[in-house]
């Protein structure tokens, strides 16, 4: 399912009547099966973009097409959008409301037409995918879980409908290293299975190591979009101070103080390793 964003703008209106331009003329195409990272400073419009993609806000101007269909056109079936686009918000705890974890996760399947037995099987799949023991967790209250567990339940409640596009707003903020790693592994597996992943993150490592495309916002404008490595290299050359670097980039920069020809295209740890192997003898170190 391809996404086309065309000259998209969004302005909030404050109670005072003042206008806040959160997105300004953003255009880009996201091919089916992409794994797109969205980065940008606080307030650059990332969450607003996601809300528009999920159809939760209508653009002030511009259009969003899913497989060629304008999702804000009159007559477009917004409820079908929910089956196709799954969103896990920045504070997913707010997405939990039922009395048990099982009911919470099953909610998205209410109008799916699946039989009760199929619903249970699907809920079990979603919770197990998120690393839970189904028998243990199903009757618990979502409110009694830890922050990280709540987030995993919220994600289960979104993937349960098997949406073709999965959008995450800051999914790994506040997770421990194990939780981060397993989330990123999970996102990669979903992507390999064909799901389009869109992930907002401030974590440079996660963006560098896991995403395939990177979309960069600053003050509501799209300032770069392309293959992750290329975008990292460009940002490193031009706007390092604003966007920072991945750790592999930082290590490469430190080494380059002594060895100026060390590749400036190092972005990931794998890049760093192969640049070092090259340095040590033509890459035949094994
Ligand atoms: N409900 C709202 N009412 C008014 N202005 C808003 C509202 N939500 C966001 N804004 C403003 O719109 C701009 C973009 O906000 P947005 O939440 O999209 O940024 P963000 O990139 O997600 O930031 P962060 O990294 O902090 O999550 C900011 O200037 C913000 O103050
Ligand atoms: Mg945000």
Could you report the per-residue pLDDT of 22-79, keeping only the tens digit for each? 999 999 999 999 999 999 999 999 999 999 999 999 999 999 999 999 999 999 988 8
Instruction: Give the ligand with the smallest distance to the CA of 218.
Output: 1
* Ligand number, closest to the Cα atom of 220: 1
The pLDDT of residue 260: 75
> CATH: 3.40.50.720, 3.40.50.300, 3.30.565.10, 3.30.450.20. Which one for 3-244?
3.40.50.300
pLDDT at 286: 46
Q: What are phi and psi of 67, to 5 degrees?
A: 45, 40
Residues 115, 119: Cα–Cα separation, whole Å: 6
Tell me, in angstroms, the distance from the centre of ligand 2 to residue 264's CA: 31
* Cβ–Cβ under 8 Å, residues 272 and 229: no
Residue 211, pLDDT > 50, answer yes
Residue 235, pLDDT above cutoff 80: yes
pLDDT in tens, 121-142: 999 999 999 999 999 999 999 9
Query: Does 283 have pLDDT greater than 70?
Result: no
- Tell me which residues have their CB closer than 6 angstroms to ligand 1: 12, 14, 20, 22, 40, 42-48
Going from the Cα of 250 to the center of ligand 1, the distance in angstroms, rounded, reads 30
Per-residue pLDDT band for 284 (boundaries 50, 70, 90) equals low
Strands 221-227 and 69-70: unpaired
User: Over pLDDT 90: what percentage of the chain?
Assistant: 64
What is the C-alpha end-to-end distance of the chain, expressed in Å? Answer: 40
Q: Which ligand is nearest to the CA of 169?
A: 2
pLDDT over 80 (residue 110): yes
- The CATH 3.40.50.300 portion of the chain extends over 3-244
pLDDT tens sequence across 96-109: 788 999 999 999 89
Q: Are strands 196-200 and 165-169 parallel, antiparallel or unpaired?
A: parallel
* Cα 42 to ligand 2 centre (Å): 7
Instruction: State the pTM of this model.
Output: 0.90
How far is ligand 1, taken at its centre, from the CA of residue 135, in Å?
40
Of 62, 111, 58, nearest to 82 by C-alpha is 111
Residues 224-247 have a mean pLDDT of 86
Q: What is the pLDDT of residue 282?
A: 62
């Amino acid at each position: 399912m391809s996404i086309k964003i065309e000259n998209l703008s969004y302005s909030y209106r404050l109670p005072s009547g003042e206008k806040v331009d959160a997105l300004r003329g953003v255009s880009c195409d996201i091919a089916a099966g992409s794994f797109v990272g969205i980065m940008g400073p606080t307030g650059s419009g990332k969450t607003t973009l996601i809300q528009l993609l999920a159809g939760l806000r209508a653009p002030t101007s511009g259009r969003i097409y899913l497989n060629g269909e304008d999702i804000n056109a009159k007559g477009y079936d917004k409820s079908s959008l929910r089956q196709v686009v799954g969103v896990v918000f920045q504070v997913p705890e707010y997405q939990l409301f039922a009395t048990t974890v099982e009911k919470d996760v099953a909610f998205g399947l209410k109008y799916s037409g699946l039989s009760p037995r199929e619903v249970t099987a699907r809920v079990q799949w979603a919770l197990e995918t998120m690393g839970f023991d189904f028998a243990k967790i199903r009757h618990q209250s979502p409110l009694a879980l830890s922050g990280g567990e709540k987030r995993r339940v919220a994600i289960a409640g979104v993937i349960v409908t098997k949406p073709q596009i999965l959008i995450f707003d800051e999914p790994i903020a506040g997770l421990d290293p194990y939780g981060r790693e397993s989330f990123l592994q999970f996102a990669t597996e979903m992507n390999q299975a064909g799901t389009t992943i869109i992930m907002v993150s401030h974590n440079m490592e996660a963006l560098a190591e896991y995403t395939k495309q990177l979309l960069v916002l600053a003050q509501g404008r799209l300032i770069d979009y392309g293959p992750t490595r290329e975008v990292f290299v460009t940002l490193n050359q031009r706007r390092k101070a604003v966007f920072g670097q991945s750790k592999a980039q930082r290590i490469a920069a430190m080494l380059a103080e002594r060895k100026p020809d060390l590749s400036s295209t190092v972005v990931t740890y794998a890049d760093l390793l192969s640049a070092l192997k090259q340095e040590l003898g033509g890459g035949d170190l094994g």
